[in-house]
Amino acid sequence: MSFQIILGSASAARRQILADAILSRLQSEGQLDGEGPATMLITADTVISHCKIFIDFEVVVCEAWNFIKGYSGGQAAVIGSVLETNLKTGKRKGVWRRAEVYFHVIPEEVIDSLMEEGITLNVAGGLMLEHPLISPFVEAVIGTIDTVMGLPTELTEKLIQEAV
C-alpha cells in the first residue's frame, strides 16, 4: 500500500530523523510514492525528567541554564512518545520510549555559549545531545539517540507498518 506522511511537529530533529532514516528506506522499498490514497499523520513529544521534575520546552534563558547546569556530572531521563494515525481509516497506534543520558561535568562557559546561541531554548529541557558544544560532555546514553532527539526510528517504522 502506498501512502503519504505528514509530520505533525515543528522539531527540526524529528524532521531530520524522519527524512533521513525513515522516508528514505520506505521510498527505496517502494512503499512510499506520494500518490497513494492513505495519509499517515505522525505526532511526537518529548519530556525530560531530572531531579523528580518533568521539563518540556524552555522559553526563559535562566531556566534552561539551570537545567543544563543540573545535568552536569549527573543524568537526565528522556521520555518520548509517538502517535501515528491513518487519516483514511482512523486507525491509531502509539508508543512511548525512555532513554537515560549521563553527563560529564559541563563547564559554565559552555552553558553560557549555548544560551548565547539560543538553539537549546527550542528543545525539551534544553537537552540537545547532537550539539557540538554538548556532545563532548555526554558520558553515556542508555537507550537510543533518536529517542533522545524525539523520534525513535525503529518504533516509528513499526507503527507505520501497523497503522497501514
Q: What is the CATH number of the domain that holds 141?
A: 3.90.950.10
Q: How many domains in the chain?
A: 1
What residue numbers bound the domain in which 102 lies?
3-163
Strand partners, 71: none
> What gap in Å lies between CA 160 and CA 49, rounded to an integer?
28
Asked if 102 and 140 touch (Cβ cutoff 8 Å), the reply is yes
48 and 80 in contact (C-beta within 8 Å)? Answer: no
At residue 7 the predicted structure's pLDDT band, cuts being 50, 70 and 90, is confident
Displacement of CA 13 from its chain's centroid (Å): 6
Q: How far apart are CA 124 and CA 138, in angstroms?
A: 17
What does the pLDDT look like over 52-91, one tens digit per residue? 777 776 557 888 888 899 999 999 999 988 988 887 778 8
Give the predicted TM-score (pTM) of the model.
Answer: 0.78
Q: What is the pLDDT of residue 2?
A: 66
Please classify residue 14 by burial: count the beta carbons closer than 10 Å to its beta carbon, then call 0-12 exposed, 13-18 middle and 19+ buried.
buried
Taking the C-alpha atoms of residue 75 and residue 153, their distance in angstroms, rounded to an integer, is: 23
pLDDT in tens, 116-141: 998 888 888 888 888 999 999 999 99
